[in-house]
Chain A
Amino acid sequence: MSYQFEFADVLEQWPLFLKGIRLTVQLSALAVVFGFVVGLLTAIGRRSDTPWLAWSCGAYVEAIRNTPLLVQIFIVYFGFAALGWKVSVFSAATAALIINLGAYTCEIVRAGMDSINKGQIEAAECLALTKLQIYRYVILVPALEKVFPALASQFVLLVLASSVTSQIGAEDLTAVASRIQSETFRSFETYITVAIIYIVLSYLARVLFWAVGLIVFKRRRRLGLAF
C-alpha cells in the first residue's frame, strides 16, 4: 500500500490548532488548581474523626474513581441541564474535570498523610505545637512533599483526559482536530499532528511541575529528593 502523506493542508490550519491548544491549556490549568484544592480538602475530610464526613468523602472518591470520566461529563452537562440547572459547555467541562481530579488527588494526598510516622506527630505534641500547627507543619507539608511526583503524574494525565470534554462540544484541541479533518479529509495527518501536540504539551507540563516542585519544596531539593 502506498499512502501519500500530505501535511500541508492540515498545517495551514495552525490558527485553529492554536485556539484548541489555548482551550486545552485553560481547561487543564483550572482543573489542576481547583481539583488540587478539592482533593486536599476531601483528603483532610476523609481522615477526620467525624464519621459522616469521613464516609461521604470516601463515597465521593470511590464513586468518581470507579466510573468513566465521559459518563461524569454527561451527567454534569446533560443531566443537570435536564434538571433545570443550565450551565455552559465550558463550565460543565471544567466542573467535571475538577470533580474528577479531586477524587484522584484525594487518594494520593491521603496516602501521603497516612505515611507520616506516628513518632513525628508525638514528637510535635511534646514540643507543644497546637493541633493546627501539627497538621500543617508535620502532616500536610511533608506529605505533599512525599507524594509530589505522583501528583505531578496525575496532573499530566489530566491534560490528556481533558480531550474527553470535546464530546460535549468544548472546542479543545481534540474537537478542533475533528473539525479540521472533516474539512480537509486528511484525518490521518490531522490526528498525527494532534497526537504530537499532546505529546509536547504533556512533556511541557511535566517540566512545569518539576520546576514547581523545585520552587515550592525547598527541603526536597536539599534532601536530594528532587528527581
Chain B
Amino acid sequence: MGGSFNSNHFVFLMMGAVWTLALTMLAFVSGGVLGFVVSLCRVSPLRALRLITAAYILLVQGTPLLVLIFLLYFGVSMAGFQVSPLLAADLALTVYSSAYLGEIWRGCIESVPREQWEAAECLPLTRTQRMRLVVLPQAYKIAAPPTAGFMVQIVKNSSLASVVGFVELTRAGQLVNNSIFQPFLVFLIVAVLYFAMCYPLSYWSRKFETRSGIYARVQPE
C-alpha cells in the first residue's frame, strides 16, 4: 500500500487525459484524410478502385483494433522496423478510423439527393467540379453529426494504446493503481474523465443527427 489518492495522482491522470486527447486528434486527422480518400474511392466510377477499398474496409472492420495494434507494434518491429508505442497506436487507430469514417462518409455522399448529381451533370460540370462544388458541400453538413459520434469511438478506443505501454489515460490509471492499489476509485475517476471527454461529443452528435437515419445507431467498440 502506498498511501491514498492525492492531488499528485490526479495531476498524473490529467496528464494522461491530455495524451488521450493528443492521440485522438492525431488519429482523427490522419484517419480522416485516409478515410476521405477511401470514401471517394468507394463512389469512384472505376470498379477496381471500388473493389479494392471495399476489401480494405472488410479486412479492417473484421479485425479487432487490439490485434491491429499488436500487429503494428510487435509484428512490424519483429520484421526489422523500430516502432514506438505512440506510432504503433497512432497507425493502428488511423487505419481503423479510415475504414469506419470511409464507410460513414460514403453514406453521406450517397445520400445527397440524386437530382443534385443529375442537375450538375446537365450544367456540364466535370466530375471533379460536380464533387467539389455540388455534392461535397452538401455531404459535409450531413456528415458532421456522425463524424462527431465516431470521434467518441476514437477517444474510447485510444484506451487500447495502453496495452503497448503508451501512457495515456488508461495506462496512467493502471500506474496510479499499481502504486496505491485502490482500483475501484482509480478506474472510476478514469471513467469519469473519459465520460467528460466523450459526453459533449455524443450530446452534440445526437442533437444534430438528421432524421434520415444515415448513421444507424451502431457504434463500433
Contacts and interface: CB of A to CB of B under 8 A. Distances in A.
Given A63-B195, A75-B191, A154 B79 contact: no
B187 A74 contact: yes
- Binding site secondary structure of chain A: helix
A177 B157 contact: no
Interface of A: 1, 3, 62-63, 65-72, 74-75, 78-83, 100, 104, 107-108, 111, 149-150, 153-154, 157-158, 160-161, 163-164, 166-167, 174, 177-178, 181, 185-188, 190-192, 194-195, 198-199, 202-203
Pairs of residues from A and B, 4 with the lowest C-beta to C-beta distance, nearest first: A78-B183, A199-B62, A79-B184, A68-B159
Interface of B: 58-59, 61-68, 70-71, 74-81, 152, 156-157, 159-160, 162-163, 170, 173-174, 177, 181-184, 187-188, 190-191, 194-195, 198-199, 202, 216-221
Contacts of B162: 70
- Binding site secondary structure of chain B: helix
Nearest to B78: A187
A68 B59 contact: no
A158 B221 contact: yes
Given A65-B219, A66-B199, A70-B170, A174 B66 contact: yes
Contacts of B61: 202
Contacts of A161: 64, 221
Contacts of A111: 217
A124 B68 CA distance: 50
Given A67-B194, A82-B181, A195-B63, A107 B217 contact: yes
B63 A75 contact: no
Contacts, number: 154
B221 A166 contact: no
Contact of B66 (A67, A150, A157, A166): A166
Contacts of B199: 62, 66
Nearest to B201: A66
Contact of A1 (B59, B80, B202): B80
Contacts of A190: 75
Contacts of B163: 167
B184 A191 contact: no
Given A62-B199, A153-B218, A198-B62, A78 B177 contact: yes
Contacts of B191: 63, 67, 71-72, 75
Contacts of B174: 74
B76 A65 contact: no
Contact of B80 (A3, A100, A149): A3
A191 B74 contact: yes
A185 B78 contact: yes
Contacts of A195: 59, 63, 67-68, 71
A188 B160 CA distance: 19
Contacts of A154: 218-219
Contact of B70 (A108, A157, A191, A203): A191
B71 A191 contact: yes
A188 B187 contact: no
Nearest to B181: A82
| Residue among A80, A83, A167, A195 with most chain B CB within 10 A | A195
B67 to A, nearest CB: 5
A68 B194 contact: yes
8 contacts: A65-B152, A69-B156, A104-B218, A174-B70, A187-B70, A188-B75, A199-B63, A202-B62
